Structure 1
Amino acid sequence: MGLVGRDRLRRARLGALLGAGGLALAACAQAGAVSVAGPARGPSPSATPVTPAETPTSGSGAAPGSTPTPAPTPAPTPSASIGKGEGTLQVLTFQGYVEYGGTSSRANWLAPFEQETGCVVKLDRVRTSEEMAARFAAGSYDAVSPAPDLAGELVARGKVAPLDTALVAGYKHIPKRLRELPGLRVDGRVYGIPYLWGVNQVVHEEGGPKEPSALYGAAPAAIRNSPLSIADAALALGGTRPELGIEDPFQLTPAQLDAAVKLLAEDAGPDRVYWDSSLELVRALSAGPVRIAQALPYHLDLFRRAGRPMKASEAPVTGWADAWMLAARPASPNCAYRWLNWMSSASAQRPAAAWTGLAPANPEACGGHARRMCEIYRVRDSRWLRDVRFATRPTRDCGGRSGECTDYADWVERWKQLVK
């Protein structure tokens, strides 16, 4: 997850970090010798809303900040089969999510798709959700892979189409927990094919503070620099202050949001680090006073393999899942469905997981270079997966439930006040 006005984490080839020479990353970071960052993160914090000109004018009657009913956009392809490809395909995604051999000849899961389907991909890559929102609103794309913060906005505004999952062979292999995330399934219609996912853990040195609430204590800590980190504070409050009635850490009432922000702010000292990149996190834990941090399983594994004893809290965690979506009016719907089919397959998700340091949504991808990622993210542990609180975009209607909650703009504003 990202930061207002900052770049999304750069992706680096996993082998470069976990190979024989790469295990010195923590030590190298202390000397400033490493120029690469680690795995991808989840939603960027300040996804630019779809511009008014791009918003349907049919009028849903929804209050500002609520979740409008998506415009009824029919799936552009009949469910019998995918038609003949149109020849080209416009794809918008994050850096590192689709590789074509430009960074490393070993990282190329685009060429096999083009060779197999005859659909030539015109790839547009961005670093932040705000960049993606702006590009998507101004351009003409067939497929897009937004993070949950932007995905919720695109679905609510009718900018992406409901999918015919019968045309996506790998969909049935994706765990039900991921397939039915609220941000991807609305009113019984599927809008996203899960691709890569991750979780946020509280990691600490052996013998150090280990409760999630310790992340917000007086001891120096490193916290991911994103408004959605408020959800992690809310999750910690759910265990210590049950009277707040926090059920979903991503859908908070004004009083619950106030309490979560207060927890973040009350003991924030000058040594607290709000990190944007894996390199910043590694440096904080290697060279600074920080001994407890919000991190990914990837980071924990990196330190352990470098000989640095670190542990992770077993408390409930938040997470996110990025998914592939189909534009509401794609110019190349047949090539787009072929793309969704490919990106849900083990053949595409295996190298993507190994490259980004994230978990593949399709467990069939858990082999070869992706095996390590599947192990550290516990991909095949369905019981653990059920306990992950996956991110959804905060909305005033509490994600479609009854009640009055705060929306994403409220979270962004409170985070700006906290991190100055």
Structure 2
Amino acid sequence: MGHNGRWMTAVLAAGVLTLAACGGGSDQGSGSGPGGLAVPKIDKLAALGAGEGSVTIVSWAGYVEDGTTDKTVDWVTPFEKDTGCQVNNKVAATSDEMVTLMKTGDYDVVSASGDASLRLIYGGDVAPVNTDLITNYKDIFDGLKNKQWNSVDGAAYGVPHGRGANVLMYRTDTVTPAPTSWGAVFDANSPYKGKITAYDSPIYIADAALYLMKTQPDLGIKNPYALDDKQFEASVALLKEQNKNIGEYWSDYTKEVQAFKSGNSVIGTSWQVIANLAKADKAPVESVLPSEGATGWSDTWMISSKAKHPNCGYRWMDYIVSPKANAQVAEWFGEAPSNKLACEQTTDKHHCTTFHADDESYFDQVWYWTTPLAQCVDGRTDVTCKDYSAWTQAWTTIKG
């Protein structure tokens, strides 16, 4: 896990993992989504032609490695030699930045997280993907295909890259008995007051909503990303109460590792890769997917509707989810690969088990990050839900 850890400092600090989205389009990319949002009609590539000699990519750090970060980590050079497509990559720090860059039309491909993917689809910035031209698509886990955040009316708008859950991590020498519920971080009378940590993002409101969905059924929450006024107020109130017990909020993964090592944090939301790195650093931690389930994330490779190098773009999307390359990225970044054959290619033979790559029963309990919209993403039409801007405003009041 060593090289992974050194590299992830740069990455997760940059806010690598972001939200995931929802969508509603036909084969040609026309159709309607939540609340009748129209999807611009954009044709997908009909056949693969000759490569254009280069491809421009917008990615999260760590997804497009050419040996610069670590000379032993390079899956770009083999792709360039094999296809003649020279890779020009721009690392983006946030989903907002990715959306802005893709709107320029200067980039061919993007590794979009869900909150970006929906905006790109409805904004007409990405085209539906002709999956018949992606030879490795057949080997991608079914649990990642045609989802709310990467398809519209059955039309695929991308090639799934990887996924992970937001788990509950705790110090085994302090937190006893071992926690099995998110109640451990939401209990107002927690014995761990001042040493609880939470993810620093408006999307964390969904973690509170998920807990209330399971513990206060009277609220009627069916989807943690679809909250009407009453449900939203209850979630925000729970987080304001929790705020009194929070020692620190985290977004930089290295700081969370340090906080658990030092004992400044003893319990809170985390990622599997953070638990692995903390353990590698000899911190006495374990992580668990609590009884209520958890939120999580999934990223998707998408092609620009204005791509100047569509043929090289398709070649990249196919290559990056090929078994060997997908295994390299998943291991370097610390996530479950999307290609089921990648599990045989990882250096650590336990990688896919650790990250639950083929365990759909595990991921059935995960609510992937989805952009909250005013048109409720749970399908309700008789109420208005709080959109992401409302979540953003509420988050500043929660933190005080």
TM over 0.5: yes
1:158–1:325 distance in 2 versus 1, CA, 3 Å: same
CA distance in 2, matches of 1:157, 1:68: 10
Map Cα deviations across residues 90-145 of structure 1 (whole Å, 9 max, x no partner).
11111111101101111111111111111111111122222222222235111111
Contact 1:67 1:399 in 2 (8 A): no
Map Cα deviations across residues 146-189 of structure 1 (whole Å, 9 max, x no partner).
11111111112121111111111121111111112201111111
Pairing 1:229–2:188 present: no
- 1:214 aligns with 184
* Matched residue count: 375
- 2:321 aligns with 344
- 1:314 aligns with 290
3-state SS in 1 of match to 2:38: coil
Task: Between 356-365 and 204-213, report the one with greater CA deviation.
Answer: 204-213
Contact 1:349 1:360 in 2 (8 A): yes
- 2:3 aligns with 16
- 1:364 aligns with 341
Describe how 1:143-158 pairs up with structure 2 within 5 A: 143-158=109-124
Q: Which runs of 5+ in 1 are unaligned?
A: 1-13, 23-33, 48-59
Pairing 1:406–2:382 present: no
CA distance in 2, matches of 1:208, 1:281: 22
CA distance in 2, matches of 1:123, 1:67: 35
CA distance in 2, matches of 1:346, 1:300: 25
Pairing partner for 1:140 from 85, 94, 106: 106
- 2:247 aligns with 272
Pairing partner for 2:233 from 235, 242, 258: 258
TM-score by length of 1: 0.83
Pairing 1:325–2:294 present: no
Pairing 1:109–2:75 present: yes
1:375–1:38 distance in 2 versus 1, CA, 3 Å: farther
1:313–1:89 distance in 2 versus 1, CA, 3 Å: closer
Pairing partner for 1:387 from 357, 365, 381: 365
1:177–1:271 distance in 2 versus 1, CA, 3 Å: closer
Pairing 1:74–2:52 present: no
Contact 2:4 2:334 in 1 (8 A): no
Partner amino acid, structure 2, of 1:300: A
Task: Between 378-387 and 85-94, report the one with greater CA deviation.
Answer: 378-387
3-state SS in 2 of match to 1:279: helix
How far is the alpha carbon of 1:37 from its aligned partner? 6.7
Describe how 1:187-206 pairs up with structure 2 within 5 A: 187-206=153-172
CA distance in 1, matches of 2:363, 2:63: 22
How far is the alpha carbon of 1:274 from its aligned partner? 0.6
- 2:311 aligns with 334
CA distance in 1, matches of 2:41, 2:348: 38
Contact 1:225 1:275 in 2 (8 A): yes
Partner amino acid, structure 2, of 1:100: D
How far is the alpha carbon of 1:288 from its aligned partner? 4.1
Contact 1:129 1:147 in 2 (8 A): yes
**Seq. identity, %:** 30
CA distance in 2, matches of 1:161, 1:61: 15
CA distance in 1, matches of 2:43, 2:3: 44
- 2:134 aligns with 168
How far is the alpha carbon of 1:208 from its aligned partner? 4.9
How far is the alpha carbon of 1:399 from its aligned partner? 2.6
Contact 2:146 2:154 in 1 (8 A): no
CA distance in 1, matches of 2:73, 2:95: 23
1:121–1:311 distance in 2 versus 1, CA, 3 Å: closer
Pairing 1:285–2:285 present: no
Partner amino acid, structure 1, of 2:3: A
Q: Which runs of 5+ in 2 are unaligned?
A: 22-30
CA distance in 1, matches of 2:178, 2:324: 41
Contact 2:136 2:318 in 1 (8 A): yes
1:269–1:173 distance in 2 versus 1, CA, 3 Å: same
3-state SS in 1 of match to 2:55: strand
Contact 2:169 2:285 in 1 (8 A): no
Map Cα deviations across residues 327-356 of structure 1 (whole Å, 9 max, x no partner).
112111111111111122112111111111
1:15–1:205 distance in 2 versus 1, CA, 3 Å: closer
Task: Between 359-368 and 201-210, report the one with greater CA deviation.
Answer: 201-210
Map Cα deviations across residues 372-402 of structure 1 (whole Å, 9 max, x no partner).
4322211121222222111221111123723
Contact 1:222 1:284 in 2 (8 A): no
Contact 1:208 1:291 in 2 (8 A): no
Pairing 1:120–2:107 present: no
Structure 1 vs Structure 2 CA RMSD:
2.6
CA distance in 1, matches of 2:269, 2:245: 17
Pairing 1:377–2:355 present: yes
CA distance in 1, matches of 2:42, 2:272: 38
How far is the alpha carbon of 1:302 from its aligned partner? 2.8
CA distance in 1, matches of 2:161, 2:330: 9
Pairing partner for 2:277 from 302, 305, 317: 302
